Homo-oligomer: A and B are copies of this chain.
Amino acid sequence: MSNISQHISKKFDVALDDIHNKVLGMGGLVEEQLKKALLSFINSEQKTAEIVIENESQVNTAEVAIDQLYINILVRQQPAAGDLRMLSAISKTITDLERVGDEAEKIAKMAIELLDKKDPKFAYTSINSLGKFVSQMLHDALDAFAKLDSKLALEVALREPESDKYYASIMRELITHMMENTKNISGSLDAIWATRSLERIGDHSKNICENVIYLVEGMDVRHISIEKMQEMIKSDR
């Protein structure tokens, strides 16, 4: 390798490291938003909910900045196949992170909606459990992204059906509660929206994991079945 191409390659590695770190920074911000949103919902903390809503624009700004950086790298340097996979995975991951930010904001808004309704907190224990579950999924998905660990990514992606089970169970609880008395409908619907947002955060975390697998293994796993994914783990270990 000539000195020049080494130089170019090093410069490129620095740029790639930089954008990778910025995605992790955005991930940290989004995790913090989710943590606060869940807290505001479960403990009826108006101020915390307002902070989440206020900080939502920071998530959007981070997305736009990273996207610009991504295009700049594509234009100025001419990345090789492996690096392009990294850039493509980054581009998709920040879209998912931005949407997790949106869902966190929605949860905070529902927390505020519910303040006025003075409904007894129904199904909150279950909603909190789902919240903790998907927060961990997001955290581990970002960890897999940080370490470029496709096995961890696969393991996290496989947790998604469990978050669906939580979701279905909470929905049953809330619908039953609505059926008992029409007065429960309005508050239960707000809780349903928050639950739906949490379930979507599980989906986005799974998407991030699929991006990591694609990045590391060069394998598109977006539309394959759980059985197939499990086979992949088995054959790999």
Residues of A within 8 A of B (CB): 57, 60-61, 63-64, 67-68, 70-71, 74-75, 78-81, 84-85, 88, 91-92, 95, 175, 178-182, 185-186, 189, 220, 222-223
Contact = CB atoms under 8 A, between A and B. Distances in A.
Chain A at the B interface: SS class: helix
Given A175-B186, A178-B178, A182-B182, A84 B71 contact: yes
- Counted per complex, copies of this chain come to 2
Given A67-B220, A71-B84, A74-B79, 11 more contacts: A57-B223, A64-B222, A68-B220, A70-B88, A71-B85, A75-B80, A178-B178, A179-B185, A180-B182, A181-B182, A185-B185
A177 to B, nearest CB: 10
A71 B179 CA distance: 51
Contacts of A182: 178-182
A186 B174 CA distance: 11
Nearest to A192: B189
Contact of A185 (B78, B81, B85, B175): B175
A22 B126 CA distance: 44
A63 B179 CA distance: 41
